[in-house]
Amino acid sequence: MSTEHQRDALSADEKQLWRGFLKWSETMTSAVERDLTAATGLSAADFQILARLSEADDHRVMQKNIGGWLGWSATRLSHHLARMQERGLLTRASAGAGRRMAITLTDAGARAYENAVPIHAVAVAKHFLDRLDPDARAALLRLGED
Amino acid sequence: MSTEHQRDALSADEKQLWRGFLKWSETMTSAVERDLTAATGLSAADFQILARLSEADDHRVMQKNIGGWLGWSATRLSHHLARMQERGLLTRASAGAGRRMAITLTDAGARAYENAVPIHAVAVAKHFLDRLDPDARAALLRLGED
DNA sequence: CAAGATTGATCTGTCAATCTTT
DNA sequence: AAAGATTGACAGATCAATCTTG
């Protein structure tokens, strides 16, 4: 009989791998966010959005695209962009077909992002990049490229 | 001059590695939780706690220990355990020094966990384990063992 | 109507302050 | 006083339902 089609439970090794990964991943991303937020007042989510806007032509991007890049639901994105707009980091304007929206970085948003870039880079290096050996780096790169 | 002490920004490769990891990690853990919750009504957080209780002698564990194993704050754990107690999955009782608490699995909690184990195993295998080649597996195991 | 976005209710997590027992 | 746990207010995320425009 096969042992593949009806897994009863994880083996001890698999359990260790899964639990270890979860704890490492959560601890590491929390540490990055803690450093970023303490120095800039931006959350990790804020930073990701500002980065995408900052990289775009005219600092302007369709809302739909942001959702795709980050893998966020429409709902989450809508709520988050509303809050960021209230804080003056970006503006929203309807643009074309259906209920399509164009998101634009404000000057204040651009400044907040530029100020945060080096802090973010140091945090990611300290808690993530610097702890990866070449094998781990290659493995994670492969997992992430889909 | 050194390029180490004052990182200005991540390189393109580093950015790809970091963003790719974040998206993969969030997508993958969400997929596991979606499968688990759809079939059992348990969240990933619920499952982790039930698993630790289930593995303990007498299905009983000190609250402090759970926090340490999972890397959770005392606050988060307190709120979460209160909710799980209301759902009848576990009981809380003061035990000894200070404000120490002993957490015990109920029969209903034990049944819910046992029912969820194979579903969880299939989900973790499908979305995580089966997608790791030997190098990735070894690399993640190293990162997680601290 | 279909795609894209929003809304409100609810649930989870965090922060700061507080409480209890030794 | 110190350790461990709780509380309440608030921020962030999710779900289901709804809205808008081509």
User: Residue A98's pLDDT is what?
Assistant: 82
Does residue B3 have a pLDDT over 60?
Answer: no
Confidence of residue A31 (pLDDT cuts 50, 70, 90): very high
Does residue B40 have a pLDDT over 60?
Answer: yes
Q: For residues B135 and A139, give the distance between their C-alpha atoms in angstroms, rounded to a whole number.
A: 7
Mean pLDDT confidence for B100-112: 98
User: Residue B19's pLDDT is what?
Assistant: 97
Locus of tokens 């576990």: B90
Chain A residues closer than 8 Å to B9 by CB: 117-118, 121
Does residue A2 have a pLDDT over 70?
Answer: no
End-to-end CA distance of chain A: 34
Does residue B21 have a pLDDT over 80?
Answer: yes
User: Residue A1's pLDDT is what?
Assistant: 57
Locus of tokens 């790169």: A141
Strand partners, B102: B62, B93
Tell me the per-residue pLDDT of A73-108, one tens digit each, with 9 for 90 and over: 999 999 999 999 999 999 999 988 888 999 999 999
Does residue B5 have a pLDDT over 70?
Answer: no
Residue nearest to nucleotide D6 (CA to C1'): B78
Q: What is the mean pLDDT of chain B?
A: 95
Alpha helices, DSSP H, located in chain A = 12-40, 44-55, 63-70, 74-86, 107-127, 134-144
CA distance A82 to chain B (A): 22
Tell me the per-residue pLDDT of B61-98, one tens digit each, with 9 for 90 and over: 999 999 999 999 999 999 999 999 999 999 999 998 88
Residue nearest to nucleotide C5 (CA to C1'): A99
Nucleotide nearest to A34 (CA to C1'): C14
User: Residue B64's pLDDT is what?
Assistant: 97
For residues A117 and A54, the answer to whether their CB atoms sit within 8 Å is: no
| pTM of the predicted structure, to 2 decimals | 0.93
User: Residue B20's pLDDT is what?
Assistant: 97
Q: What is the mean pLDDT of chain A?
A: 95
The percentage of chain A sitting over the pLDDT mark of 90, rounded to a whole number, equals 90
Interatomic CA–C1' length for residue B66 and nucleotide D6, angstroms: 17
Mean pLDDT confidence for A110-118: 98
Q: Positive or negative CA dihedral for A110, A115, A121, A126?
A: negative
Does residue A11 have a pLDDT over 90?
Answer: yes
User: Residue B96's pLDDT is what?
Assistant: 82
Q: Which nucleotides of D are covered by protein (CB under 7 A)?
A: 2-8, 12-17, 19-22
Interface A-B, measured as beta-carbon pairs within 8 A, has a size of: 131
- Which residues make up the interface with nucleic strand C when CB must lie under 7 A? A 30, 34, 62-64, 67, 74-75, 77-79, 81-82, 92, 98-101; B 43, 45, 72-73, 75-76, 79-80, 83, 94, 96-99
| A47 burial type by CB count under 10 A (0-12 exposed, 13-18 middle, 19+ buried) | buried
Chain A residues closer than 8 Å to B132 by CB: 143
Distances (CA, A) of A146 to A66, A143, B16, B23, B143: 17, 7, 11, 10, 22
Amino acid at A53: L
